[in-house]
């Protein structure tokens, strides 16, 4: 990577000038917003839909086909909230397992609010996107302080909670309280893009506005908690990225199916491009303890623990990069030992290959340098901490699994 002509390499959020050793931190790189055309400012006009018949067909199918999920056995807003936050960016089977464990450990809002952040992150570990857990923790504290631990019923109060957006607020309000509030996520946008054969990209705010209004009309003809969950289930089981039109309960209402454009909807889908990143990490052992540090609050994996290491720049081997990075950032010289293994994981659009090694401190050096919250810990102490995904895999390879 090159910024202003100076070659750089990165370690998480830290950027080092290789030529002079001066450290610089880059917060973000922005992109200029485009100015919308007059056409883009006009609201979308959708074709007519028999809302009553559509709602009847959809909810009748849902009554027959819905999956027996644990959070559908209750209208408790806390339970609905936890399930909705967990299932963002998480596959259903995995989400259900975490939901069950979470509800056993934190049965109500008060239990979440009373826990410390490390406990919350450890319970969340493996779900990724840890900002969800931090926001959930902050929201629980707000519910306790402002609403006496009772989950708010008003949709504006729900929407004001940390980590709760338009969709999540609609899902909680409709499922928990049966309020006629749309819950429009990517699945619902995909369904209505096909129903109305919308040729405008779903990222266009006008599509979301038009779909929200269409959902609102449907809510007039069915129980809100049933209608919204039926749409969610339709998107998950039938009208997915690879649609099963032959089993669709609302196929007769679908313009894209009639016109043969189902594969083209939603419009404007962009294939994700992934970046391959190679990293190295060292298990540095001294006196029966291992060096780890806690990542700073901002940037990637904030508040999670990891072993020393960083990104391997082009032209350098993982072994030499690890020794050099530890010396530059942690103020100690280490000797690389046996390779523990290669661990692969992902973060947003990055595909990370991490090389793990045993290391020992050479001589008497033991300073932690700039490592935030660095500490020498026993294997028992490590097992209870929340680690970034690749580092957790390394920890488990060592046999120090979370207790």
Rounded to whole angstroms, how far apart are CA atoms 369 and 374? Answer: 9
Measuring CA to CA, which residue among 92, 135, 93, 142 is closest to residue 117?
135
84 assigned to active site: yes
Task: Classify residue 376 as exposed, middle or buried by CB count within 10 Å of its CB (0-12, 13-18, 19+).
Answer: middle
Q: Is there a contact between 23 and 14 (Cβ–Cβ < 8 Å)?
A: yes
Identify the active-site residue in 38, 73, 84, 306.
84
Tell me the pairing of strands 350-361 and 275-286.
Answer: parallel
Q: Is there a contact between 84 and 171 (Cβ–Cβ < 8 Å)?
A: yes
Catalytic residues: 84
């Amino acid at each position: 990577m090159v910024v202003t002509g100076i070659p750089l390499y990165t370690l998480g959020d830290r950027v080092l000038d290789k030529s002079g050793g001066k450290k610089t931190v880059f917060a973000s790189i922005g992109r200029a917003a485009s100015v919308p055309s007059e056409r883009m400012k006009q609201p979308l006009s959708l074709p007519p839909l028999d809302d009553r018949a559509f709602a009847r067909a959809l909810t009748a199918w849902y009554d027959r086909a819905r999956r027996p999920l644990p959070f559908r056995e209750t209208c408790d807003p806390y339970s609905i909230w936890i399930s909705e936050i967990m299932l963002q960016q998480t596959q259903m089977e995995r989400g259900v397992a975490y939901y069950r464990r979470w509800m056993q450990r934190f049965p109500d809002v008060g239990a979440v609010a009373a826990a410390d952040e490390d406990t919350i992150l450890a319970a969340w570990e493996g779900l990724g996107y840890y900002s969800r857990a931090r926001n959930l923790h902050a929201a629980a504290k707000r519910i306790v302080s402002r609403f006496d631990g009772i989950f708010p019923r008003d949709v504006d109060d729900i929407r004001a909670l940390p980590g709760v957006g338009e969709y999540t607020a609609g899902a909680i309000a409709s499922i928990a309280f049966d309020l006629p509030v749309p819950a429009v996520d990517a699945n619902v946008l995909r369904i209505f893009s096909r129903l109305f054969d919308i040729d405008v990209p779903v990222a266009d705010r006008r599509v979301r506005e038009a779909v929200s209004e269409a959902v609102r009309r449907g809510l007039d003809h069915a129980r809100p908690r049933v209608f919204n969950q039926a749409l969610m289930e339709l998107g998950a089981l039938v009208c997915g990225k690879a649609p099963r039109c032959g089993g669709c309960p609302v196929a007769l209402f679908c313009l894209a199916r009639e016109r043969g454009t189902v594969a083209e909807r939603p419009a404007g889908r962009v294939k994700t491009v992934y970046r391959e990143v190679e990293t190295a990490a060292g298990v540095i052992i001294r006196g029966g303890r291992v060096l780890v540090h806690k990542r700073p609050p901002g940037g990637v994996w904030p508040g999670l623990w990891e072993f020393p290491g960083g990104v391997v720049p082009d032209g350098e081997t993982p072994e030499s990069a690890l020794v050099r990075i530890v010396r530059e950032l942690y103020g100690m010289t280490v000797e690389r030992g046996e390779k523990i293994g290669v661990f692969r994981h992902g973060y947003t659009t990055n595909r990370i290959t991490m090389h793990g090694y045993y290391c020992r401190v050479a001589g008497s050096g033991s300073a932690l340098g700039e490592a935030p919250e660095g500490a020498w810990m026993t294997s028992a102490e490590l097992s209870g901490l929340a680690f970034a995904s690749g580092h957790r895999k390394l920890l488990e390879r060592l046999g120090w699994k979370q207790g």
